[in-house]
Amino acid sequence: MPRLAVARFSHEGNSFSPVLTDAAAFRRDEWYIGQEAGAVYRGTATEGGGAVAFLDAHPDWAGTFLRMAGSTPAGPVTRDAFEAIADEIAQGCRDTPADAFYLSLHGAMVVEGMDLADYEIIRRVRVAIGPERLLGVSFDLHANLDPRVASLVDFAAGYKEHPHIDQKETALRVLEALRRTLRGEIRPVGHIAKLDAILPSINMRTAEGPMAELEAFARGLEFDPRILDASVYGGFSYGDSAAAGAGAMVFADGDAALARGAAEAVVAEMRERLHRFYIALPSAAEGIAQALAAPERPVAVIDAGDNPLSGGIADTPEMLRALLAAAPEVPVIFAFFVDPGLVARCREAGIGGTVEATLGGRLTPDFGPPVPVRAKVARLTDGRYVNLGPLMRGLPMDLGPTAVIEAGQVSIVVTSICGSAHDPGFYALHGLDVTRAAILCVKAKNHFRAAFGGTFKQLIDIDAPGPAALDIAQFPFRLAPRELYPLRGPG
């Protein structure tokens, strides 16, 4: 009976966020092992869900879930947390008599005092299992991949969709390749090629635009039966690493030259479209004005610069400042701020009570001063819900205690833990119906569109100061090669 071991250590690290990611963040967000892991992931649209589905579809395989750890994107992972989790996974691999090992990684992890963390995880697992046993890895579309990864794994693949609604399918693709390799049906060899540029993710959706064209080109390569997988990687814009920047990874059946040529062909197509990725966006004030003037509603104003799924901190004040300055006379939902102290004060005041507070600028003054508000407490929750939309559907979430406060026509969600406001479950938890508000102001980016793209009459992306703001070159990169565009400037 073939044996499979599954592990996960996934985190997208924003090098410019002031919020470190410690072990407690993983334990709070996604921290499972053994039978509990299988039970939690069963039926979910996640890579863990893909592993469960693979084992269900192949009852002749035995499966073991090792440590499964993941956390919401934020600042660098602390070195202690990295070492503890990486050591647990490597030891689990060393102790598990499996024929094939599957790792669910992000590919843009950033760790204090260490570069190329995902490569290091893979290297440690390879040392633990030895050269003979199979190793497959899945990556996020925004991975910053070190080209050496291709020589350490037997097969790897990345998400093809942004928003990332194909996480389960990506896991199944990797696991099926491992199954075929173990049976001797294929002999995968891979190559990673890199683009000399860091791309902004705001214009990286796969439904339209340059990324859609690149994904179509990669799918065309796969019509050649010798090409086992062609994955396009837009890279993570805010991960300062020697492996920063976009690229492509291709696995071919026993033909290293074919894999290399195909990966380089994808990168050549990417280079042809390079400047189409860089776009301009309205300011917060301009975006709010557009929303208030929109002839049809509801309208969503999306602040990508503080998107938690890009390492945002849900603490930048500019969008709220612009909104309150506009004095809206229509119902507006604002999602969201992280402020556990304010949530505690709201609980003390009780529903119907009044609080005076400042919002934003709590963690750092770098993105603007706080905004004063006087508001009524409208709702209190325990912060727990299950994702209902297509992105990570079925995965339980925990924001800690939360509150909804009302300042005039504006309902503001305040949480204790930084999560993400991309899922219908987030709004249902807070008793908010986005279709009944005229405007939703949300700290989000492209993933928001997976569940809500068809809900709003207009989606207005804005650029405001934050750890994931549009101008990549403004950030203090230290490790990324200076020859990468736009760090190198025009030309």
Q: Which tokens in the block code for residue 308?
A: 């938690």
Task: Name the CA dihedral angle for 179, 181, 186, 187, rounded to a multiple of 10 degrees.
Answer: 150
The domains of the chain are located at: 3-277, 284-469
CA distances from 409 to 75, 139, 388 (A): 34, 42, 27
**C-alpha span between 331 and 69 (Å, rounded):** 39
Which helix (H) or strand (E) segment is 210 a member of?
Answer: helix 209-221
Distant-in-sequence, close-in-space partners of 183: CB < 8 Å, separation ≥ 6: none
Give the integer Cα–Cα distance in Å for 448 and 163: 8
Q: Name the burial class of residue 208, with classes exposed (0-12), middle (13-18) and buried (19+) by CB atoms within 10 angstroms of its CB.
A: exposed
Would you state the pLDDT for residue 488?
85
Tell me the whole-structure pTM to 2 decimals: 0.96
Tell me how far CA of residue 381 lies from CA of 70, 200, 384, in angstroms: 24, 35, 8
Measured distance CA(40)–CA(42) in Å, rounded: 6
Chain centroid to Cα 354, Å, comes to 36
Contacts of 487 (CB under 8 A, 6+ apart): 198, 472, 473, 477, 480, 481
Q: Would you give the distance in Å from CA 463 to the centre of its chain?
A: 19
Bridge partners (DSSP) of residue 157 are 138
In sequence order, what are the beta bridge partners of 233? 247
pLDDT at 490: 54
* Total residues found in the chain within this entry: 491
Q: From 438, 445, 205, select the one nearest 304 (Cα to Cα).
A: 445
pLDDT in tens, the chain (491 residues): 999 999 999 999 999 999 999 999 999 999 999 999 999 999 999 999 999 999 999 999 999 999 999 999 999 999 999 999 999 999 999 999 999 999 999 999 999 999 999 999 999 999 999 999 999 999 999 999 999 999 999 999 999 999 999 999 999 999 999 999 999 999 999 999 999 999 999 999 999 999 999 999 999 999 999 999 999 999 999 999 999 999 999 999 999 999 999 999 999 999 999 999 999 999 999 999 999 999 999 999 999 999 999 999 999 999 999 999 999 999 999 999 999 999 999 999 999 999 999 999 999 999 999 999 999 999 999 999 999 999 999 999 999 999 999 999 999 999 999 999 999 999 999 999 999 999 999 999 999 999 999 999 999 999 999 999 999 999 999 999 999 999 986 55
List b or e across 125-134, with b for residues whose CB sees 16 or more CB atoms inside 10 angstroms: bbebbeeebb
Residue 458 makes CB contacts below 8 A (sequence gap 6+) with: 290, 291, 294, 296, 299, 300
Task: Tell me what pLDDT residue 489 has.
Answer: 61
Tokens of 335: 């999602």
Asked whether the bond before 298 is cis by omega within 30 degrees of 0, the reply is: yes
Read off the DSSP letter of residue 200: P
